Amino acid sequence: MAVLPQIQEDKWKSLRYLLGGIFLVLVLIEKSMGFDPKAAGNLFPKQGFRNIGKTQEKTKFAEPSDPFSKETWEDDLNWEEEVLTQTFPDSESNKKTRTKLVDDSIPEITLPEDRFPGAGKRLQVDAGYLPVYFLKFYGTGKNSQSQLVKLTREFPGGDPIPFLFQELTKGPSAEEKGKGILSALSKKVRMEPNYRLENGILHISLSEDIHYGGSMEILKDRLDQISFTMVGNFGIKGVILYSNGERIRNLGSDGLTIPEVLAKSQRKVIIF
């Protein structure tokens, strides 16, 4: 009868070994499925044993990774900033820019300062000699350049403005032409007899022929002839040109832009 306790104790040891083996097998199975007992609140989660006995392999469970746990997580988001900062052509905006904004049916409005101001008080000057400016070309071929030439004309007295402009369009004398002196202003250009000298600015109206003939350089010479002949005499500080009653802002077919007020440019002058 004394042997019974020993047999009973051996049975309990065998049972404990069996249970321990089963527990070990279960732990190994859970490890193989990615289950971490330390991170779980319970030792056996609800999903723990659902796949036991199934032959079809399924995706293992894994802990959700924290995107902010990496030190370089800010670098991983740089691409978003680059995409947002890139500029791409907008087809809609291109279509809008092509939309015609000017209505041809609206008549052009001329500002008051663009209109010829009309006649003013006429100048009266005693007889004497007045300077006029023409051109002379130096060099040959592509190296040829025009220079301003200062000449004098005998003035009988009276209004000097129409007289000076007429001398410019009349051009150099035969003797002066023999010396190579020319004029960029043709005889077709006419100045209206009415002009206005106000606050040192001479307003004169010319015929449309002022636009015709000559290259860009000739057009510049034409303006210099007018400005050098008028400015500096009789209190004239600048000249504004008009044609058909409207202000000339572009000259010639190429559209040479004219300054708001013509004045003497930085140019050498040859005195004959």
CA 60, CA 107: separation in Å to the nearest integer? Answer: 79
* Residues whose CB is less than 8 angstroms from the CB of residue 151 and which lie 6 or more positions away in sequence, other chains included: 131, 132, 133, 134, 172, 176, 181, 272
Bridge partner list, 130: 153
**Mean residue pLDDT across the chain:** 77
Residues in the chain, how many? 272
* Residues whose CB is less than 8 angstroms from the CB of residue 165 and which lie 6 or more positions away in sequence, other chains included: 191, 204, 226, 229
Q: What is the pLDDT of residues 7-21, one digit of tens each?
A: 666 777 777 777 878
Handedness of CA 76, 78, 84, 86 (dihedral sign): negative
Domain spans of the chain? 129-271
Q: Are strands 181-182 and 128-138 parallel, antiparallel or unpaired?
A: antiparallel
CA 39, CA 37: separation in Å to the nearest integer? Answer: 6
Bridge partner list, 142: none
* Residues whose CB is less than 8 angstroms from the CB of residue 153 and which lie 6 or more positions away in sequence, other chains included: 129, 130, 131, 132, 163, 164, 167
On the question of pLDDT at 22 being above 80, the answer is yes
pTM tops 0.85: no
**6 to 3, 16, 17, 20: CA distances (angstroms):** 5, 15, 17, 21
Q: Which pLDDT does position 25 carry in this prediction?
A: 77
Q: What is the pLDDT of residues 150-206, one digit of tens each?
A: 999 999 999 999 999 999 999 999 999 999 999 999 999 999 989 999 999 999 999
> Out of 68-72, 75-79, 113-117, 185-189, which region has the weakest mean confidence (pLDDT)?
75-79
3-state SS, residue 177 = helix
Q: DSSP string of 10-32? A: HHHHHHHHHHHHHHHHHHHHHHH
The answer to whether 222 touches 245, Cβ cutoff 8 Å, is no
